[in-house]
Amino acid sequence: MPLNVHFGEALEPDELAELRARLSPEVQITASPDDPAPASYHILVAGRPNAAQITASPNLHTVIVPWAGVPESTRQLMADYPQIAVHNLHYNAAPTAEMAMTLLLAAAKRLVPIDRALRRHDWTPRYQPSQSIQLDGKTALILGYGAIGQRVARACQALGMRVLATRRNPALAGPTDVAAEIHPSEDLRRLLLQSNALIITLPLTPDTHGLIGAAELALLPPQAILVNVGRGPIVDEAALYAALSSGALGAAGLDVWYNYPTDEASRRSTPPSRFPFHELDNVALSPHRAGDSMAITAHRMAHLAALLNAAARGERIPNRVDLQAGY
């Protein structure tokens, strides 16, 4: 019996070719922003589905959000359809973890201002007192010990760091090749006191919004580094700028923000925050590109094909989302 899969948005030709090359013959796909009539799909692939797409097919049993995390609008919509399972994809775990480490090292070594100076042929940073922060022997705290967090943990351990991590349910972490100390989220404040690097890989949910504020930042040791590849509003915007500009927080590497372009015309002129983070030499900035790479389409389609092929075989589909938790 074929498995009918409908995409809520039209696929690009390269995406379709990558996907078809990996799919089982039992998987039949359609792709259109308009619902097919009559609708008979079993799985809907859509990041932000609407109610019409959910109710169009009486056979629908699964929605796949084709990226990590679940938009709040999708979470609220799917709460009205508890009989339909929601899954997502973790195809970008490797590049996101790599960006987290890039930002951590760039912030720790103050690479951006040094690079900027040498591009002007200015060697004076070499002869000034070093502001470089050594990571070997320090402690990293990773908030969110999922697919991304576990990769970050391995890299931090390779740098000689002690690794702490929080997870909503530590028992679900499973065995890994990293000697990380995994704690429940409730231990956050105690863990911050020990953490020279705070690395955020969490999704944005009602529970994580504003999780790190002025009080939490104040618990970090002097010259601590904060890296955020989760979502901007997990960290209080004003508190983060105040801590960085005052020197209370040693440095930061930020890939996620508080203000985004609303259309193509605004992409060249939209500040990422209401505060001038770009004026601070102790911040490395990235425009929410952590999950991207030149091979990202192939990775995304490979992960999606694995989920769809598992469904076609009648197997358990990976990456089930807990809608109440938001991930």
Residue 267 has a CB neighbour count (10 Å cut-off) of: 11
Question: What is the rounded distance in angstroms from the CA atom of residue 52 to the CA atom of residue 41?
Answer: 13
pLDDT in tens, 235-268: 999 999 999 999 999 999 999 999 999 999 999 9
Q: What is the per-residue DSSP string for 175-189?
A: --SS--EEEEGGGHH
Q: Which domains does the chain have, with CATH numbers?
A: 3-92+295-312 (3.40.50.720), 93-285 (3.40.50.720)
Average pLDDT for 268-275: 97
Q: For residue 212, give the DSSP letter.
A: B
CA-wise closest residue to 166 among 136, 193, 192, 205? 192
Higher-confidence position of 38 and 214: 214
Reduced to 3 states, what is the DSSP secondary structure of residue 255? Answer: coil
ω into 38 cis (within 30 of 0):
yes
Is residue 159 scored above 70 in pLDDT? yes
pLDDT in tens, 45-69: 999 999 999 999 999 999 999 988 8
**Residue 298 tokens, joined:** 């192939």
Reduced to 3 states, what is the DSSP secondary structure of residue 300? Answer: helix
Residue-level pLDDT at 36: 64
Measure the CA angle with vertex 234, ends 228 and 238; round to 5°.
Answer: 90
Question: Measured on CA atoms in the order 35, 10, 71, 233, is the torsion positive or negative?
Answer: negative
